[in-house]
Amino acid sequence: MLSEHFETIEILGTNIALGILFILIGLAIQDVLNKSNVPRFGRWFVWLVLFLGCAGFIAKGIIQVIWEAGI
């Protein structure tokens, strides 16, 4: 059973680990922004860049699934 689904489990574990990593990066950035006196525009720009990085990762995953499915 495990050997049949090893690739699926590996992909799922990698995606979960990367999701947790993105959450931890976001928490670290929030902590740094709260401890320093960053202006409102700077905070907005930092969160925009972080969001675009996450959106790119999600888009890559969606494109990969579509490409492999042959749709």
Q: Which residue has the higher pLDDT, 51 or 70?
A: 51
| Dihedral sign, Cα of residue 21, residue 23, residue 28, residue 29 | positive
What pLDDT, in 10s, does the model give residues 10-25? Answer: 988 998 998 899 889 8
Is 33 in contact with 43 (CB distance < 8 Å)? yes
- Residue 27, Cβ density class (10 Å: 0-12 exposed, 13-18 middle, ≥19 buried): exposed
- pLDDT of 1: 65
Q: Is the pTM for the entire model greater than 0.75?
A: no
**DSSP 8-class letter at 69:** H
- pLDDT of 4: 77
- pLDDT of 35: 92
Contacts of 2 (CB under 8 A, 6+ apart): 9
